[in-house]
Structure 1
Amino acid sequence: MDAGLFTANNVWMMVCTALVFFMHTGFSLLEIGLTREKNTINILFKNVFIICIGLLLYYIGGFNLMYPGDFNGFIGFGGFGLPIGADGLTPEYADGGYTYWTDFLFQAMFAATAATIVSGAVAERVKLGAFMIFVIIYVGLVYPIVGSWQWGGGFLSTLGGDEGGFYDFAGSTLVHSVGGWAALVAIYLLGARIGKFGKDGKPKAIPGHNIPMATAGVFILWLGWFGFNGGSVLSADPALTSLVLVTTCLAAAAGGVSAFITSSLLYKNFDVTMFLNGILGGLVGITAGADLMSPLEAIAIGLIAGVIIVFGVAFIDKMKLDDPVGAVTVHLICGIWGTLAVGLFGDKAGLDQLGYQLIGIGAAAVFCCLTSFIIIFALKKTMGIRVSKEEEVEGLDIHEHGMDAYPDFRMNQQS
C-alpha cells in the first residue's frame, strides 16, 4: 500500500476517534439539560469518571478481551496491556486502515459510550459509589465480551458460515443495546424518582432545567456520529465513507421530523425534547447498517425510529419505569429496531439475515440482562444503590459533592 494512502487512512481514523470522544461532551450536556439543576455536578462527575476509567480499563484488559485473536467464539483473552506486534505500525496491520495505537483508542471510545447510556437513565437518584463500581465491571468485562462475539471474530460473526452471520456495522446492538439493557435493569431495580408517579400511578413530568443545553448536546452527538459511523468504515475509503455519512444524517433528520410530527398529533403540542430524542433514535437506528443502505432506505429507517421514540417513551412511563433522558427508548428499543432493519432493508435484506439479527439481539439481551442484574442486585443488597430521600430532595450536588453548579443562582433564590 502507498505510504500516503496509509497515512490518510490513519489520519481519518484519528479524526473519527476525536469526534467519538467529543460525543461525551454531548452526552453530558444532554443529561444535564434534561434533569434538574441540583444534580448537575453529579451527572458531570459520572461522565468524566466514565471516560477516564473506561480508557484505563480498556488498556488493562478490555481491548484484548474484545479482540483476543483465535478463541472459542464466546470468550477469550489476549493478555494484559497493549502488546504491539511487529506490524502494528505498518500497512500490514488492519489492511492499512490504521495503526495498532489508533485501533485501540478508537475502540476505547466506543467502550465508554455503553456506560454513558446507563448514566442518563439512573440520573438523580443513584449512589455515586455504586454506579462507579457498576461501570468498572460492566465496561471492563461485559461490554468487551459481547463485542468479541461479533467484532472480535466470535460466534455471531460466523452464524452463516462463509456468507457471514449477524451484522452490526457500528453498534446498534453491540454498543447501544448493550448499554440499553443495563439501563433497563438498573431503572427497574432502582425505582422511580420521588414525584415521578402520583398516587394514581400516572406519570408526572419532571422538567429538565436547561433545554438549550440539551439541544446543544444533541447537535454535538449528531456531529460525533460522523466519527462513530464514519470511523466504522475502518479506513478513509471515499465512496463508502461518504455513503455512511449521508445515510447517517438522513436517518437522523427523518427521525427528528417523524418524532415531532407523531408527538404533535398525539399530544397537540410541539415538544422539542421528542424532536431531539427522535434525532438520536434515527442515529441509533441507522448505526447497524449505515454502510448497507441507500439514502431512501436510511430515511425510512429514521422515520420508523422517530415513531418508535414517541410510543417507546409512553410505554416506559406506562410500565412505571423512570428514565429521565429517554435512554432506554433511544438506545435499547431503537437499537433493536436498527439491528432488525439490516435484515429488512439494504444489501443484506432477507429472511436468513433477519434470523441472524434476531439471534444477535437475543444473545446480547440474555447476557447483558443477566450480568447487569447480578451486578446491580448485589450492590443493592450490600452497599445500596439509591440515595436517601433527603439527599434526593435536596440534590446530589450538595450531598455527594459538597458544591453547587449554580451558586449565584441559588444565593439569589435565598436572598
Structure 2
Amino acid sequence: MKLSHHVTARRASLGILAAGAFLALPAFAQEATQEAAEAAPQFASAADTAFIFNTLLFLIGGFLVMWMAAGFAMLEAGMVRSKNVSMQLLKNISLYSIAGLMFWLVGYSLMYVDVNGYFGTLWPYSWPAAGTANEGDYSVASDWFFQMVFVATAASIVSGTLAERIKLWPFLIFVVVLTGFMYPITGSWKWGGGWLDGMGFQDFAGSTIVHSVGGWAALAGALLLGARKGKYGTGGEVQPIPGSNMALATLGTFILWLGWFGFNGASQLALGSNADASDISRIFANTNLAAAGGVVAALILTQLLYKKVDITFVLNGALAGLVSITAEPLTPGPFAAILIGAVGGVIVVLTVPLLDRFRIDDVVGAIPVHLLAGIWGTLVVPLTNADASFGAQIVGILAYGIFTFAVALAVWAILRATVGLRVSDEEEMNGLDVAEVGVEAYPEFIASRVR
C-alpha cells in the first residue's frame, strides 16, 4: 500500500516535471539561441573587409619593395670590382635606413600632408594610437611604410652609378637631402595631389617620380665626380672594367624583378573588391611580360651588334623593361606590355655606349635603365591610357628633370667644395673596402688591392 502510494506519487511527480519541461522548452530554446548568437564569430562588414585587404596590400607590397634593397645591393656587389664590394653593401644598408628615418622625420609630411600644390608641411609624421580602427580605407602606418620603401629605391639608383670612387659620408649626406626633401617635394606634385596631378600627369607607380628622379640625381653626381681612373684613355678609347661576380648581379636582378610585383601591384592602392583583385592580377602579368620583353630585346640586339651576348646588358634589359612599364602597368594589353619593355631593353643597349662617348662613367648602367627608360615609359602612357595626354606627360618629365638635376647638381657641388666627393687616387687603386670601410669583402684576394 505504501509502496503503491510512493509509486503513484513518483509517477505523478515525473508527470508534473515532464509537463513543466515541455512548457519551458520555448524559454530554454530562446536562451540557447541568444547564447549561440553571442558565441558565434562576428563577421566583418564590407567596409571592414576592404580596410583589411587594402592594408594587407600595402604591407605585402611594402615588404616586397623593401626586398628590392637586397636586390640593389646584390646587383651592385656583382657589378663592381671585388675591392669595392663591402663599400657597396654598406652604402645600401645605410641609405635604406637613412631613407626610413628621413621619410618619417620630414618626408611623408612634405609629400602628403596639407599639400599646397608644390609641397606639404615640415614636421615628423605620426599615426593613430595602437588598436585604433577608424583610419579611413587603410591603416595609416601601412601607407607610410609602403611609401617609405619607394624613396629608398630612388637613393639606391644613385649608389650604383657613383660606385668605386665616391667617399662614404658625402654620399650619405646627399641621401639625407634626397630622401628627406627632394623626392618628397617632387612626389607631392603628383601623388600628393599637387599641381601636376591637377594637370592630368600620369605616373602609376613611378617611372618618373621614383626612377627618373634617382637617375637625374645620379647623372648630376657622375658629371661632378668624374670617371674612374683608367676608364677612359687619353685618345677617347673606352677601357672596360668588368664586375666581380655575375652570379651576384643575376641574383640581384631576380630579386628586383620579384620586388617589382609589389612596386607596381600594390600601387593599385586597393584590394577591397573583385575589380581591384582583377586589376592587380593584370598589373602582375604586364609587369612580368615587360621585363621579359626587355631581356629578349637586349639578348638579340647585343648578339647582332657585338656578335656575343653581354650578360650585363641582358640583366639591365630586364630592369629597363620593368622601369618602362611602371608608369602604366594596368591599361596596356599583353603585346603592348611586351613592346614597351622591349624598347626599354633597346634603350639600354644603345645608350650605354653613348654615355661612354661623353665620358660619363655609370658603373651599373643606372642612368640608361632608370632615367632614360623611365622617360620612355612615362612618355608612352597616352598610347594605352585615354586619361593621359602627351602634353601633360612632357610637362611632368621636364619638371621632374629640371628640378631634380638642378638641385642635385647644387648639392653635389656644395659637398665637393666643402668635404670633397672623391677618394684619393691611391685609395681608389687600393679599393674603397680598405680606404673607407676597413672590412674587405674578399680578404683572401690580395691581388685585388693593386688591380
Letter in 2 for 1:112: A
Could you tell me which of 49, 53, 60 is aligned with 2:98?
A: 53
| Structure 1: distance between partners of 2:217 and 2:132 | 34
| Structure 1: distance between partners of 2:267 and 2:160 | 25
Cα deviation code 1:8-53 (max 9, x no counterpart): 2322221111100000000000001011010111111110111111
In the superposition, relative to structure 1, how do residues 411 and 371 fare at CA in structure 2: closer, same or farther (>3 Å)? closer
Give me the CA root mean square deviation. Answer: 1.9
- Contact 2:113/2:121 (<8 A) preserved: yes
- Give the C-alpha shift of residue 348 in structure 1: 2.3
Q: Which residue of 2 aligns with 1:322?
A: 361
- Give the C-alpha shift of residue 409 in structure 1: 3.6
- Contact 1:342/1:349 (<8 A) preserved: no
- Give the C-alpha shift of residue 204 in structure 1: 1.1
- Contact 2:62/2:146 (<8 A) preserved: yes
- Contact 2:217/2:408 (<8 A) preserved: yes
| Structure 1: distance between partners of 2:118 and 2:433 | 41
Q: Which residue of 2 aligns with 1:235?
A: 270
Say if 2:122 is the partner of 1:122: no
In the superposition, relative to structure 1, how do residues 54 and 197 fare at CA in structure 2: closer, same or farther (>3 Å)? same
Cα deviation code 1:135-161 (max 9, x no counterpart): 1011110000000000000000011xx
Letter in 1 for 2:362: D
Report which of the two structures shows the higher radius of gyration computed on alpha carbons: 2
| Structure 2: distance between partners of 1:245 and 1:89 | 30
Say if 2:359 is the partner of 1:347: no
- Contact 1:149/1:157 (<8 A) preserved: yes
TM-score, normalised relative to structure 1: 0.93
- Give the C-alpha shift of residue 410 in structure 1: 3.2
Q: Which residue of 2 aligns with 1:276?
A: 315
Q: Which residue of 2 aligns with 1:79?
A: 123
Letter in 2 for 1:17: G
More deviation, 170-179/398-407: 398-407
In the superposition, relative to structure 1, how do residues 10 and 265 fare at CA in structure 2: closer, same or farther (>3 Å)? same
Structure 1 residues 158-237: aligned runs within 5 Å = 158-159=198-199, 165-236=200-271, 237=276
- Give the C-alpha shift of residue 398 in structure 1: 0.7
Give the fraction of aligned pairs with identical amino acids, expressed as a percent: 46
In the superposition, relative to structure 1, how do residues 84 and 78 fare at CA in structure 2: closer, same or farther (>3 Å)? farther
| Structure 2: distance between partners of 1:66 and 1:246 | 30
In the superposition, relative to structure 1, how do residues 204 and 3 fare at CA in structure 2: closer, same or farther (>3 Å)? same
Q: Which residue of 2 aligns with 1:66?
A: 111
- Give the C-alpha shift of residue 103 in structure 1: 0.2
| Structure 1: distance between partners of 2:226 and 2:186 | 27
Q: Which residue of 1 aligns with 2:437?
A: 401
Q: Which residue of 2 aligns with 1:135?
A: 175
SS at match of 2:380: helix
Cα deviation code 1:152-177 (max 9, x no counterpart): 00000011xxxxx0000000000000
| Structure 2: distance between partners of 1:299 and 1:284 | 13
Segments of structure 2 that go 5 or more residues without pairing to the other structure are 1-45
- Contact 1:67/1:78 (<8 A) preserved: no
SS at match of 2:444: helix
Say if 2:446 is the partner of 1:410: yes
In the superposition, relative to structure 1, how do residues 403 and 389 fare at CA in structure 2: closer, same or farther (>3 Å)? same
| Structure 2: distance between partners of 1:79 and 1:376 | 25
Large movers: runs of 4+ above 2 Å? 1-6, 78-81, 83-90, 347-350, 408-414
Cα deviation code 1:281-325 (max 9, x no counterpart): 000000000122111111110111111110111111111100010
| Structure 1: distance between partners of 2:54 and 2:185 | 28
Q: Which residue of 1 aligns with 2:299?
A: 260
In the superposition, relative to structure 1, how do residues 412 and 83 fare at CA in structure 2: closer, same or farther (>3 Å)? closer
TM-score, normalised relative to structure 2: 0.86
Structure 1 residues 349-368: aligned runs within 5 Å = 353-368=389-404
| Structure 2: distance between partners of 1:25 and 1:219 | 11
- Contact 2:51/2:139 (<8 A) preserved: no
| Structure 2: distance between partners of 1:256 and 1:349 | 29
Q: Which residue of 1 aligns with 2:18?
A: none
| Structure 2: distance between partners of 1:305 and 1:312 | 11
In the superposition, relative to structure 1, how do residues 74 and 349 fare at CA in structure 2: closer, same or farther (>3 Å)? closer
Letter in 1 for 2:192: G
Could you tell me which of 404, 412, 419 is aligned with 1:383?
A: 419
| Structure 2: distance between partners of 1:157 and 1:87 | 34
| Structure 2: distance between partners of 1:413 and 1:139 | 33
- Give the C-alpha shift of residue 360 in structure 1: 0.2
- Contact 2:430/2:449 (<8 A) preserved: no
Count, aligned residues: 401
- Give the C-alpha shift of residue 7 in structure 1: 1.5
In the superposition, relative to structure 1, how do residues 146 and 413 fare at CA in structure 2: closer, same or farther (>3 Å)? closer
SS at match of 2:262: helix
- Contact 1:89/1:100 (<8 A) preserved: no
Segments of structure 1 that go 5 or more residues without pairing to the other structure are 160-164
